[in-house]
Chains A and B, each alone.
Chain A
Amino acid sequence: ILNVEQSPQSLHVQEGDSTNFTCSFPSSNFYALHWYRWETAKSPEALFVMTLNGDEKKKGRISATLNTKEGYSYLYIKGSQPEDSATYLCAFSTGTASKLTFGTGTRLQVTL
Chain B
Amino acid sequence: EPEVTQTPSHQVTQMGQEVILRCVPISNHLYFYWYRQILGQKVEFLVSFYNNEISEKSEIFDDQFSVERPDGSNFTLKIRSTKLEDSAMYFCASRWVQETQYFGPGTRLLVL
Contact = CB atoms under 8 A, between A and B. Distances in A.
| A-B interaction | yes
A71 B7 CA distance: 37
Given A34-B101, A43-B105, A97 B50 contact: yes
Contacts of A32: 99
Contacts, number: 55
B65 interface: no
B105 A93 contact: no
Given A97-B50, A99-B33, A46 B101 contact: yes
Contacts of B99: 32, 34, 49, 51, 93, 96
B48 interface: yes
23 contacts: A32-B99, A34-B99, A34-B100, A34-B101, A41-B105, A43-B103, A43-B106, A44-B103, A49-B100, A91-B43, A93-B99, A97-B48, A97-B50, A97-B95, A98-B48, A99-B48, A100-B33, A100-B35, A100-B45, A100-B101, A101-B45, A102-B42, A102-B44
